[in-house]
Amino acid sequence: MVDIIEQEIINMSEKLFNILLMDRTTKKNICWATDHYISYGDAYYPQEPITKELVTGRNANIISPRVAKDVEIQTKRTKEKAEVFTPSWVCNEQNNLVDEAWFGRKDVFNKSENQCWITNKEIIHFPKDKSWRKYVDAKRLEISCGEAPYLVSRYDTVSGKEIAIEERIGLLDRKLRIVNENTVTEDDWFFWVKRAYESIYGYEYQGDSLLIARENLLYTFIENMEYKFSHKPNEEQLFIIARIISWNIWQMDGITMNVPYSERPRVNTQISLFDFMNGNEASDKEPIPCKIYDWRSNTSLEFKSIVNGGE
Ligand SMILES: C[S@@+](CC[C@H](N)C(=O)[O-])C[C@H]1O[C@@H](n2cnc3c(N)ncnc32)[C@H](O)[C@@H]1O
């Protein structure tokens, strides 16, 4: 359950897996953005796109969560990209604070105790001036999300221990619990599940972790449908959710807010003879700013425009 096999997703649908590999800004695939796979060949260099062929067949097991990676590789990734994942109990305590601020009361979903938590089994009640629908729509972002443990908690990213649906603590897990508790028909459930996914965002630099985060969100959807209706989602539903995931969990250098290793021709810039003679020919290219999607207004916008006070 912890290490999702890419071939398993392709077996469900090749198109589904290709959606999970998409970079919505560049309209190409996400790239590796890590040098940890270069021993597999030229196609695995950091700037190269991740494709179905590179992670299946004889290289079927190369993408695995941090907890299943060699200690040596874990250490290298910590040194190079500060990759240290947060244990679930810490994610839970912080997510509890987010909910405490929203609900205006403590311990809404669970009570944290001794580096663990006791889940509140009662139906969640909402303050007078706030509805469960508002909670589902409230936007949340995990910066530098790695495998996205603050959003979904199928397993503890540090111990690798699986977590049952009823006990999950991620920000999206909590929204899905609310949808499970407040809807009856499958149509209504799916409508609100879709909105829950539309309100959850995360970005990550390294392509392998980003893919795992996306897979974790997709499997969370499948598991919740099985939990609520005892059957798997159909292809159409999988495509809809995967499309949202491929927008909302995106590849970005959080420092520059650009797509890693991306370039496009610079707009409105003419290379002068002077530039050329000084060896500045490269200045006709610029990195590509990441786009995200606002599902309520049905528009895409540059992430930079929000951070710089645009919204
Ligand atoms: C400390 S880990 C945290 C991961 C996850 N949020 C958690 O709490 O378990 C930091 C993450 O930041 C990512 N990262 C490092 N530099 C980054 C950058 N410039 N932009 C985006 N992500 C970056 C790493 O790849 C790594 O996954």
Q: Whose CA is nearest to atom 27 of ligand 1?
A: 146
Residue 180 tokens read as 């499970």
Give the Å distance between the CA of 244 and the centre of ligand 1.
21
> Which of 80, 84, 144 best tests ligand 1's pocket when mutated (most atoms within 8 Å of CB)?
144
Ligand 1 pocket, Cβ-based, cut-off 6 angstroms: 81-86, 142, 144-146, 149, 157, 204-206, 209, 253-255
Q: Whose CA is nearest to atom 3 of ligand 1?
A: 85
Per-residue confidence of the chain (311 residues) as pLDDT tens digits? 788 999 999 999 999 999 999 999 999 999 999 999 999 999 999 999 999 999 999 888 899 898 888 898 999 999 998 989 999 999 999 999 999 999 999 999 999 999 999 999 999 999 999 999 999 999 999 999 999 999 999 999 889 999 999 999 999 999 999 999 999 999 999 999 999 999 999 999 999 999 999 999 999 999 999 999 999 999 999 999 999 999 999 999 999 999 999 988 887 656 565 665 666 555 688 999 999 999 999 999 999 999 876 54
Give the Å distance between the CA of 145 and the centre of ligand 1.
6
Give the Å distance between the CA of 100 and the centre of ligand 1.
25
* Count of CB atoms situated within 10 Å of the CB of 82: 8
CB 109 within 8 A of CB 181: no
Indicate which atom in ligand 1 lies nearest the CA of residue 86. Answer: 9
> What does pTM read for this prediction?
0.94
